[in-house]
């Protein structure tokens, strides 16, 4: 009968997306290990390696270990927050202060690419949020706005509010094509795998942001994008009902 067919095909879809998730996880976890293996094997295969070369290879190995650690941490956060039981640790937070702290922490990273970080404090906004989680979400958005920017570009974060708090992160970067504007929030999805991986990404950042927005009864979306850059908005209810 039809309802049964419908339920069965839904189950199949869930199963398939679970399998896809697991296969993506193992692929992402294997990639740094493979690099480490190649680096270690080639060092061992060489005779009379100059110390400098040793150091260079060890630095690369260390970077790959950092990458692996980040993927594991992001995955754990994502999987943990997926559970229906996750409790938010809600308190009243000044969004302006929170963003000031985040930008202060990321400024040295932005400076390396000569990117300016600007906070537009359009108004004072306080909201009932889980501070740690919101900080993680906003940091991810600003980090992306730096990573996918152009040299000497800028990132502007603005705070608006009406019934909701609207936090917009605007960059002068490479832009996001219309067909990718929803997909980038899926776990492991990357528009340009090689560019993203070179910068340490496994495509989990925006999936985390989206999960955190959902937990706050809010949403995150691309509100504007062109070859001149993009705006991603995080919209949160000011008070949790």
Print the binding letters for residues 125-164 with ligand ADP: x by CB under 6 A, - otherwise.
Answer: ---------------x---xx--x----------------
We find the least distance from the C-beta atom of residue 152 to ligand ADP, in angstroms, to be: 16
We find the least distance from the C-beta atom of residue 15 to ligand ADP, in angstroms, to be: 24
Do the Cβ atoms of 109 and 177 come closer than 8 Å?
no
Closest CA to 231 of 170, 183, 182, 190: 170
Binding of ligand ADP at residue 206 (CB under 6 A)?
yes
Binding of ligand ADP at residue 205 (CB under 6 A)?
yes
Q: Which of residues 38-77 bind ligand ADP (CB under 6 A)?
A: none
Q: Tell which one of 202, 233, 234, 236 touches ligand ADP (CB under 6 A).
A: 202
Nearer to ligand ADP among residue 164 and residue 230 (C-beta): 230
Q: Tell which one of 68, 78, 95, 190 touches ligand ADP (CB under 6 A).
A: 190
Please list the residues that pair with 90 across neighbouring strands.
130
Q: How far apart are CA 208 and CA 136, in angstroms?
A: 9
Binding of ligand ADP at residue 32 (CB under 6 A)?
no
Q: How far apart are CA 50 and CA 53, in angstroms?
A: 5
Question: How many beta carbons lie within 10 A of that of residue 11, not counting itself?
Answer: 10
Q: Mark the segment that binds ligand ADP (CB under 6 A) among 87-95, 112-120, 156-164, 170-178.
A: 170-178
Which spans in 83-148 are helix H? 95-112, 131-147
Do the Cβ atoms of 172 and 153 come closer than 8 Å?
yes
Do the Cβ atoms of 185 and 219 come closer than 8 Å?
no
Residues of the shown chain interacting with ligand ADP in the complex, contacts defined by CB under 6 A: 140, 144-145, 148, 171, 173-174, 176, 184, 189-192, 196, 201-207, 230
């Amino acid at each position: 009968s039809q309802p049964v067919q419908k339920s069965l095909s839904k189950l199949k879809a869930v199963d398939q997306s679970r399998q896809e998730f697991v296969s993506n996880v193992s692929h992402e976890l294997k990639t740094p290990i493979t690099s480490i293996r190649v680096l270690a094997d080639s060092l061992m295969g060489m005779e009379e390696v100059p110390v400098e070369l040793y150091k260079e290879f060890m630095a690369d190995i260390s970077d790959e270990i950092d990458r692996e650690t980040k993927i594991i941490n992001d995955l754990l956060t994502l999987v943990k927050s997926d559970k229906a039981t996750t409790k938010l640790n809600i308190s009243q937070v000044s969004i302006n202060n929170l963003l000031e702290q985040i930008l202060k922490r990321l400024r040295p990273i932005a400076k390396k690419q000569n990117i300016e970080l600007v906070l537009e404090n359009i108004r004072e906004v306080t909201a009932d949020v889980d501070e740690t989680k919101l900080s993680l979400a906003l940091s991810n958005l600003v980090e992306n706005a730096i990573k996918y920017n152009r040299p000497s570009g800028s990132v502007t974060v603005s705070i608006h509010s009406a019934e909701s708090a609207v936090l917009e992160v605007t960059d002068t970067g490479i832009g996001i094509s219309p067909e990718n504007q929803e997909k980038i929030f899926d776990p492991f999805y990357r528009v340009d795998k090689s560019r993203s991986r070179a910068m340490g990404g496994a495509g989990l950042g925006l999936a985390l942001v989206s999960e955190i927005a959902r937990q706050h009864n809010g949403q995150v979306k691309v509100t504007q994008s062109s070859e001149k850059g993009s705006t991603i908005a995080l919209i949160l209810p000011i008070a949790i009902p």
